[in-house]
Amino acid sequence: MKTAFRDVKEEIRRRIVQGVWGPDDLLPNEVDLAEEFDCARATVNRAMRELADEGMVERKRKAGTRVLPSPVRQARFHIPIVRKEIEGRGAQYRYALVNREIIDTPDWLRARLGLESGGKVLHLTCMHYGDSSPYQFEDRWINLTALPQAAEADFDTVGPNEWLIAEVPYSDAEISFSALTAEAEIAKHLGCADGDPLFLAERSTWFETRAITYVRLVFQRGYRMTTRY
């Protein structure tokens, strides 16, 4: 008997999985379960709290703990750093800056990041390769009002992602996945056909309400973002 709370958690999970406690059923309260499992209430509490975290049960004061009807409500995706992802596959990582410009912040970007009008942004486009074959196209916009030092940074050798990680301590972010069609330029960069369907990840990040960057990551053809749960 190594970790009691894990055992309790797995036993409760087992009973839910096997239908002993069906959807919307109310579980026994913590005191009773603690007695049944012969452990402290805190132990049962931890087990059930983690099950609630995972979306398996719902807990409310006084109302008790009940089994949620839908099997799974959430999945965790690990958002990889491109270089690590490529190296993790045993391939050689290569980065290249395609284009760099400083321009007035376009309206669509101001709207997306919630910016005041009038600032400048650094617009970078770059490519990430694995063993010389195109892996990801990066279209990056950095808010120079919040990060003026980005204008001086050397993005010829260091990718903007890694530069930002080192420069900005931490941030809130919004990420979304969707699909898009490769048009001429992206098709050329990614070495796919014009019109191919591509997987797109977009991320906006803020540092304490100040918008930092917005990025569009277009993945190679056939890319799949996968997770188990």
Partner DNA sequence: ATTCTTTTTAAGTACAGACTAAAGTGGACA
Partner DNA sequence: TGTCCACTTTAGTCTGTACTTAAAAAGAAT
- Rule CB under 8 A: which residues touch its own copies? 13, 16-19, 22-23, 53, 56, 69-79, 81, 165-166, 168-181, 195-200, 205, 207-208, 222-229
- Strand, coil or helix: 143: strand
Q: Which stretch binds DNA (CB under 7 A): 57-65, 113-121, 146-154, 190-198?
A: 57-65
Largest CA distance in the chain: 67
- In angstroms, the CA 50 to CA 63 distance is 18
Residue 78 CA: distances (Å) to CA of 75, 88, 205, 225, 227: 10, 13, 17, 9, 8
Single out the residue of 196, 167, 169 nearest to residue 184, CA to CA: 196
Question: Which of its own copies, DNA, none does residue 74 bind to, with CB < 5 to 8 Å depending on kind?
Answer: its own copies
Minimum CB separation of residue 104 from its own copies in Å reads 27
- In angstroms, the CA 173 to CA 105 distance is 20
Question: Which of its own copies, DNA, none does residue 207 bind to, with CB < 5 to 8 Å depending on kind?
Answer: its own copies
Q: Which helix (H) or strand (E) holds 36?
A: helix 30-37
Q: Is 68 in the site for DNA (CB under 7 A)?
A: no
Contact by Cβ (8 Å): 205, 187: no
Residues 4-43 that bind DNA (CB under 7 A): 4-7, 27, 29-31, 38-43
Residues 133-172 that bind DNA (CB under 7 A): none
Chain-centre distance for alpha carbon 141? 19
Minimum CB separation of residue 41 from DNA in Å reads 5
Q: Is 48 in the site for DNA (CB under 7 A)?
A: yes
Q: Which stretch binds DNA (CB under 7 A): 17-25, 47-55, 73-81, 186-194?
A: 47-55
> What per-residue string of b and e applies to 197-226 under the rule 16 or more CB within 10 Å gives b?
ebbbbbbbbbbeeebbbbbbbbbbbeeeee
Q: Which stretch binds DNA (CB under 7 A): 56-64, 103-111, 156-164, 201-209?
A: 56-64
Please tell me the count of residues contacting DNA according to CB under 7 A. Answer: 28
Question: Which of DNA, its own copies, none does residue 23 bind to, with CB < 5 to 8 Å depending on kind?
Answer: its own copies
Minimum CB separation of residue 74 from DNA in Å reads 17
Contact by Cβ (8 Å): 52, 58: yes
Binding site for DNA (CB under 7 A): 2-7, 27, 29-31, 38-43, 45-46, 48-49, 52, 59-65
